[in-house]
Structure 1
Amino acid sequence: MPQPLKDAIALCKTIRRNGYDAYVISAALQERLLENEEHGEVDIATDMQPSELRKLFPLLDSSDENADLGSLQEGDMLMRFYPMDTLASSHPEVAASRLTPRLMKKLEDRGELPTALACPYIPEVPDAYAGFCDFSDGVVNLIGVPDATLRRNYLLGVRALRFAANYDLPMEPNTWVAILRSASRILDYVPVSDIVDEWKKVEAENMAQFFELLYETQILHGLIPELAALSKIKQRKSEDEPELETAWQHTLDKMRLYPETLPYDWLGTTACLFHDVGKLYTAEYTDGEWTFHQHPWVGAKITRKILKRLRFPTEDLEVICHLVRHHKRFDSMLTDRGIRRFKALDEYPRIIEMARADVKARGGNYTAFNHNMKYLERADVPEEMLEPLLNGKEIMDFTGLNPGPAVGIIRQALLQAQVAGDVTSIPEAVEFIRTYYEKEIRN
């Protein structure tokens, strides 16, 4: 920390010890401005009046156009005093002093003063990066005083989260808390279509991080409260483990894992975002366990309502709702008939990858998944090629055999004959098993 800033903090402590309040205005900004300064100047806010300040600091100069309460020169350091806002009726966002004329001039000289802040009526060419410091510092940082910059365009709050997610950068702490403070303002003043436009610019691989940031800044709670509420829904991580997790954490895990096998799939990742939203409406606690019966179907209805509220295009809405409705279809061990019905679904490859991501997120029990993937390979084989034309009882009736291994041998031989095309009807099947029995079993 620069020495002038340390001295200013010590001076503020002196004022506090005398029963008043004082703080360094925009300390983070002033620390940055002092990095390459030969002579330190620091701006301080206090609730002391000039007469009281002069008693404490006899060398205090009178107020001028740059310092409302006065200034104090100590060696190479110049302290400027500004009045605090102590009115009970003032707006919370403007109660704390954020900028002074000197700081505004410094920002202007450095090219960091937003044009809208200096002269709000001059039109500007739209620039997605306007209002942000260069990312070469390795953080997402609003220029100047973050609260003041954000106040001029609340959409910058959502855009900052988008940059942090897409570029995998941390948020500068003062920028972060400014967004947190402004969550309600963002929801009040930013059109929902603009928020969704920022969301659509988030890569599928980074969407989980983006929504985690929306949740932590409380923006999600107003934008999609149905999702934020999932943080209060507890469920078992897997059927074999007693460990509990929130439905929201599972949602984020699934969103991170889905793009590993289907990269760049924005719609599929969005479906993962909504896949468990129905659990909020179907949760039931019975015999010490939570159940969520029919949550895919209920979730699809809720998703439709949410996406209409967010003004999603109809074609995207239909795909996402379809995936939410059927996301559990690949979870149980399916029969050949079940696999055929599954493969008839639109978007079934995406549903498979949603199921794969779910298995990974829950700890990796692939028994049912691998079974279904194996059966999926048989789905292109005609159904008559998967089961013999005669079952075991019929084989015993036509051959006179008793139950035993021989029945299975004949059944497998019949199936192979069907696959080869040698047997195509039930009469041919009866003739085949009788002949096979006489040649291969009886003798």
Structure 2
Amino acid sequence: MSNLTQPDAVLESLRFPVAEELAERFASAGHSLYLVGGSVRDALLRRPAQDLDFTTDARPERVRAILTGWAEAIWDTGIAFGTLGARRRGVDVEITTFRADSYDRTSRNPEVRFGDSVIDDLVRRDFTVNAMAVDLVNRTFVDPYDGLAALSARRLDTPATPQESFADDPLRMMRAARFVSQLGFTPAPRVVEAMTAMAGELERITAERIQVELSKLLCGRYPRRGVELMVDTGLAATVLPEVPAMRLEIDEHHQHKDVYQHSLVVLDQAIDLEDEDNSPDLVLRLAALLHDIGKPPTRRHISGGGVSFHHHEVVGAKMVRKRLRALRYPKDVIEDVAQLVYLHLRFHGYGRGEWTDSAVRRYVTDAGPLLTRLHKLVRADCTTRNRRKAAALQRTYDGLEERIARIAAEEDLARVRPDLDGNEIMRLLGLPPGPLVGQAWRFLKDLRLDRGPLDHDEAVAELRRWAAEQGITPGGESPAAGDAG
């Protein structure tokens, strides 16, 4: 247990003023109060304490009475489940009456029943490492299901049988994978066995709840381990079926790995490229894991040996949008991940630097605010074991980044706009607002990307030339203008 804080030390380290004040109020009212769950687990792991969770024998209305006059704010959105929240001096607490629920195991809706024993309350919890408590009134450590031993062994097990626990709430299987990712724990064999047998039960859980757990998993310290557990147990077949579908598809660039293993390596390498002082980048991690999901449906055998995956980035971007929408991700996350997947192959056309400045401008413009993430994804996508080839690819990308920096410094690529704005286009061509103005604007923007900044007279001449080709005369519209909208 050298990496854990001893229980006696936990009792001392958990002397939060807010917790001690609460304990005094509950004791004076004749009730018990226990600090429970993740707060105790994290203290034992010497992790910073977040919000504090408590359990008590006091019923909800009694809890409200005890909090009144002490808490600066009280909220009761969870009171039907026996939970009240409160805030005191910037610290949020949740206090839940002992529970002894039963579940219908179809909709997963619990029949809420309050209990009278902390032991019975703890057996309801998801894992033994979360089923430890500190009696704040008597200053004793409560560990009826050997959570401390499991924590010391970095083992994930359930207080009741895994079958009972997962039948009560199938989302606990996703939570197991999340704890593997966040804490580096190893699930007990019986937990893995139950997850494998019951993976299909996840279909009873709403997409929103699954998405929350998946995002926490991917933002953990060891997301690859969590993904592997999901795939090996079959959970991924429900949550992200495109990921296990990659297992047997050989990557045409990296023959030593199948696409699934390659994608896991890319995930690891993308994480290594994240900024150390920033929080985990969910968009980058999703893109790294899913960047090649378009390969299985685009796989084609080539006569004479080998395979091809033509346009897998286009297909993959569509698949990403469909899957992330099904998981109820926010629109901006969906579009950012899909765009990264769509663009991740673009660099391979760069060769030894044959791109023109125009192609570099388009690369930057298409990436837009995702450029930094695209840099990381492309670099992470190099998983070849050939050190010479890997070094050459990184040098080539170094060269591309240097060109981007040079052109950006000269032309302010972050704000590429046509050399004439919409108002000037309308004035020069005598056009009212409408589709033709947009067409002219896009023509000038493409010209700007191809040739770089134009002086004003040159831009005006190019606009007039384009207008003449379209049959647009100053003060009038082209014969097909009515069809443009």
2:337 aligned with 1:316, yes or no? no
Deviations 1:318-344 (A, max 9, x none): 110110000112233242423332222
Q: Match for 2:363 among 331, 336, 342?
A: 342
Per-residue deviation at 1:117?
Answer: 5.1
2:180 aligned with 1:197, yes or no? no
In structure 1, the partner of 2:112 is: 121
Relative distance call for 1:323 and 1:375 in structure 2 (3 A) is: closer
Relative distance call for 1:181 and 1:382 in structure 2 (3 A) is: closer
In the alignment, the residues of structure 1 paired with residue 297 and residue 178 of structure 2 have an alpha-carbon distance, to the nearest angstrom, of: 30
In the alignment, the residues of structure 1 paired with residue 225 and residue 182 of structure 2 have an alpha-carbon distance, to the nearest angstrom, of: 9
2:283 aligned with 1:275, yes or no? no
In structure 1, the partner of 2:403 is: 378
Per-residue deviation at 1:121?
Answer: 2.8
Work out whether residues 174 and 210 of structure 2, in 8 Å CA contact, stay in contact via their aligned partners in 1: yes
In structure 1, the partner of 2:248 is: 232
Relative distance call for 1:303 and 1:216 in structure 2 (3 A) is: same
TM-score w.r.t. the length of structure 2 is 0.51
In the alignment, the residues of structure 1 paired with residue 202 and residue 356 of structure 2 have an alpha-carbon distance, to the nearest angstrom, of: 52
In structure 2, the partner of 1:292 is: 309
Deviations 1:273-316 (A, max 9, x none): 11001112211110311111111111101111111111111011
In the alignment, the residues of structure 2 paired with residue 225 and residue 218 of structure 1 have an alpha-carbon distance, to the nearest angstrom, of: 9
Q: Match for 2:271 among 252, 259, 263?
A: 259
Relative distance call for 1:115 and 1:358 in structure 2 (3 A) is: same
Per-residue deviation at 1:382?
Answer: 5.4
Per-residue deviation at 1:244?
Answer: 3.9
Which structure 1 residue ranges, 4+ long, deviate > 4 Å from structure 2? 117-120, 123-127, 361-364
Per-residue deviation at 1:259?
Answer: 0.8
Bigger Rg, which one:
1
In the alignment, the residues of structure 1 paired with residue 191 and residue 374 of structure 2 have an alpha-carbon distance, to the nearest angstrom, of: 39
Q: Match for 2:378 among 355, 373, 378?
A: 355
Give the SS at the match of 1:330. Answer: helix
Relative distance call for 1:305 and 1:123 in structure 2 (3 A) is: farther
Letter in 2 for 1:150: F
Work out whether residues 205 and 259 of structure 1, in 8 Å CA contact, stay in contact via their aligned partners in 2: no
Relative distance call for 1:146 and 1:114 in structure 2 (3 A) is: farther
Where does the alignment leave 5 or more consecutive residues of structure 2 unmatched?
Answer: 1-97, 104-109, 130-150, 411-485
2:155 aligned with 1:130, yes or no? no
Give the SS at the match of 2:230. Answer: helix
Superposed CA RMSD in Å reads: 3.0
Work out whether residues 277 and 302 of structure 1, in 8 Å CA contact, stay in contact via their aligned partners in 2: yes
In the alignment, the residues of structure 2 paired with residue 362 and residue 340 of structure 1 have an alpha-carbon distance, to the nearest angstrom, of: 32
In the alignment, the residues of structure 1 paired with residue 371 and residue 347 of structure 2 have an alpha-carbon distance, to the nearest angstrom, of: 9
In structure 1, the partner of 2:169 is: 153
In the alignment, the residues of structure 2 paired with residue 381 and residue 148 of structure 1 have an alpha-carbon distance, to the nearest angstrom, of: 62
TM-score w.r.t. the length of structure 1 is 0.55
- Listed as ranges, the matches of 1:233-248 within 5 Å are 233-236=249-252, 238=254, 243-248=255-260
In the alignment, the residues of structure 2 paired with residue 198 and residue 279 of structure 1 have an alpha-carbon distance, to the nearest angstrom, of: 26
Give the SS at the match of 1:131. Answer: coil
Work out whether residues 132 and 143 of structure 1, in 8 Å CA contact, stay in contact via their aligned partners in 2: yes
Deviations 1:370-403 (A, max 9, x none): 12322432334459x9xxxxxxxxxxxxxxxxxx
Letter in 1 for 2:342: R
In the alignment, the residues of structure 2 paired with residue 219 and residue 143 of structure 1 have an alpha-carbon distance, to the nearest angstrom, of: 22
Relative distance call for 1:257 and 1:114 in structure 2 (3 A) is: farther
Q: Match for 2:234 among 218, 221, 225?
A: 218
Work out whether residues 102 and 112 of structure 2, in 8 Å CA contact, stay in contact via their aligned partners in 1: no
Letter in 2 for 1:259: I
Letter in 1 for 2:392: T
Letter in 2 for 1:326: L
Q: How many residues align?
A: 268
In structure 1, the partner of 2:68 is: none
